[in-house]
Each structure stands twice: as structure tokens, then as C-alpha cells.
Chains A and B, each alone.
Chain A
Amino acid sequence: MAAQKSEDWLYTISSKNKLIDLNFKEIWYYRDLLLLFVKRDIITVYKQTILGPLWYFIQPLFTSVIFTLIFNNLAGIPTGEGIPSFLFNLAGITSWNYFGTCLVDTSDTFKKNQAIFGKVYFPRVITPLSVVVSNLLKFGIQLLVFIGFYIYFVFFTSKAYAASPTTAMIGFPLLIVFMGLLGLGLGMIISSLTNKYRDLKFLVGFGVQLLMYGSAVMYPLSYFEEKLPEYSWLVKYNPMTTVIELFRYMTLGVGEFSIFQFGYVAVVSLIIFLFGLIIFNKTEKSFIDTV
């Protein structure tokens, strides 16, 4: 036995499953793969389209226009004094989009990559990570759109006199990370579960849409609490509500801010992410037998 121990094996393949079996050295080794996946996602999506990456602009713009028409002009949801409804909605949609695309795009990781996963080994977590990173670039572009309109409303119109960024802005990068972790975590959980139970995949499509209505994207949380106080906990404890409210507070100065909210999002997104990682890890070892 002693002689065997002295042999240093690089790694061992066995049936034993550690709870968290993340080899960070290995993930680091495959960092080029992550970047190449990102590159693939970016350059292939809009190949042979005329407008190309312009589609990144068009989708949130049109959605915001429709939301403003329906929810603000028609239904009369107030977005706060001195805050243009369009800007309010654009802020909500921009931040929601990042979370939503991360969730949807990672939720079929196993199924979509079955062909690759079945033939070659690399740390599987690279794939959802690359999705989150490539979505980050799209998010960046959409953020630019938001900034553009922000500048337009603040400097060229008199409608946005109340909109001003707050000092809480320093937490903005962290907020993005939490959004990504939330989407990634949930996506990994769903992809691990749908691996065996395909039922869930039917839920993801419209579930994400429903969740959007429960995440204060097109209304302020305070307005919901005022109108439907008995259901407000549903929206209030939804971490994405907090994320979007924080996003709007940081950029537009609407809503309230407390360090407790920030902490809440941090804790929830980390828990979901870790939980996702554990399930994902458990699944990746033998998913090819059950997919």
C-alpha cells in the first residue's frame, strides 16, 4: 500500500462523487476554450443577417416602447415624478434581459451540448460560464443604448429633471455579478433537472416571461405594494425585483435603497449559484447515460 501511495497520479477517474468537485486549476487551464465559446456565440448569432448586432439595440427599444404605451400610457402606472416612463422601462428591461437570457441560455446546457459532451471531456461548467460571459457583452451593448437615451432625456429634454445617478452606483459592478450568478445558478439547476425530466423545459419558456411580471420590470415595487398589498410579498422577496429596483435606484435615483436589499441579493444569488453548481456537478458525471 505504501508503495502505491508514493506514486503520484495526476488524477483519478472513479465513481465516487464529491459534493463540490470543482478543479479550479483545470477550469483555468481551459480558459481559452471559454473565450472561444464566447467568440463563437457572438460571431455566429448574427452571421448572414443584414442588421447584425443592431438587433441587440432593437429588441429592448421596441419592448420599452410597447411597455410604455401599454403600462404607462394606457394602464397609467406611475413611474415617478420627473422620470420618463420610457427610461424607467428601458432600465427594467435592460437589467431583466441579462438575467433572463442567462437563465434561458444556460437552462438547456446539457441537451444542447449533448453532442460535444458525449465525445470530449472538459470541465462542463465552462459552457454555462461562457454563456454568461457572452451575454455580458450583449448586456454591455444594451447598457450603451440605455446610457444613450439617458443622456438624451437628461440633457436634451426637460422631462427627466428628477433622474440622477446616486452614489450607490459604486455597487453597480457587483449588481451585474449577482444578476449573472442568479441567472447562471437557476439555469444550471434547470439544465440539471431537465436532463432527466424533460417536463421542466416546457416551463422555462413561459415561466421566465411570467417571472418578468413578478419582478417589477414595468412597475415600481412601491406601486405594487400600494395596489395589491396582500400579494406584495411575492414580488418583494423575488431577488430579481430587488436587483431591478437597485438598478433603477443606482441609475435613475428612483425607489428606495438599503444595504439590507443589497445583502439580500448577494446572499440569495450566492446560495442559488452554489446550489446550481452542486447539482450541475452531480449531473455532469453521468448525464450522458440519462440525457
Chain B
Amino acid sequence: MKGIVFTELFEMIEESFGLETLDKIINEADLQSDGIYTAVGTYDASEIGKIVSKLHEISNIPIADLVETFGRYLFKSLNKIYPQFTERAPDLMTFLESINSYIHPEVYKLYPDAELPHFDTVEKTDSLIILKYRSKRKMYVLAKGLIHSAADFFNEKIEVEIELEEDDGSVAIIKVQKVDE
């Protein structure tokens, strides 16, 4: 898992729950990295799960909500650092389609060891895109948050439906439908 995911997660926790909560999570979550992350590094993906579980314990907020909220937060941060990807896309559907075909290839240029999820386009119209999510990380919920946040950026109203193709969540069909306001 890329370090930026960890550093952004920490930042969100600090902003929303305070440094004490973050400190508590780090101290109690039994992290191999001791909570030391840098955006340019790569870390064990299971540590994300440990951090989110701890946060759930402390805050009592459901894990799925936490992950989706983090997805929304992560999109804004990434878009701030790498605005070129949204800039070149005229709308949400085009942007979503470009994840697999353009954004991820660009990521690989900087981090050849990155293990990124696949978003294959199954179907696409002006108002609909069906993506097939495939990842060992099984974090389609994070993707859902990211997509919603992206829709906000493009100022488009959408509904997202997720259907698991594999029960463990490693393959999921994500249907993004534009809705009228």
C-alpha cells in the first residue's frame, strides 16, 4: 500500500478526532511500522485495516462509513497534489474511465512497485459507467468514497451501486449512474 494512503489517513484522523486519538491508535494498533509512514514509501496494506478497526473501536462509527469518508478525504488530497488528472477530464465518466487507462499507468512511472487496483470499464455512456473493480486489498468501499468525492469535484450528482462478484470483495461491479438534480 502506498505511503500516501497512510499519511492522508493519519491527517484525517488528526483533523477529525485529534492528535490524542491518533496517538492512542498508533500506540495500541500493534503496527509493524510503529506508525512511521512517508508518502514515498510502501507499506503492508493490512496496517490500514488495523488502524481503521482501532478507530472504529474508539469512535463507534461503522467501519464502512469510516472507509468511505476516508475515500472522500483521500480524493481531495490527491487532487490537490496531482490536479493534472482531473484537469484533463471534461466530466466524471471520462475521468473514471481514465483511472485504468491513464492515471494508474502514470503512477507506475513514479512507483514501479505500486500494487494498484484495476478498474476495467464494462460499459460507458454519457450518464453511466460500469467498472469492474479487482484488487487483493478488497477496498471497493474506499473506491466508492473516492468516486463520490470526484463527482462533487465535477459537480455531478450520482448514485453508486456495488455488487460483489467474489464474496471476499476482491472483484466487484461498481455502477455509477448520473442522476438529475
Q: Do A and B bind each other?
A: no
What residues of chain A have their CB less than 8 Å away from a CB belonging to chain B? Answer: none
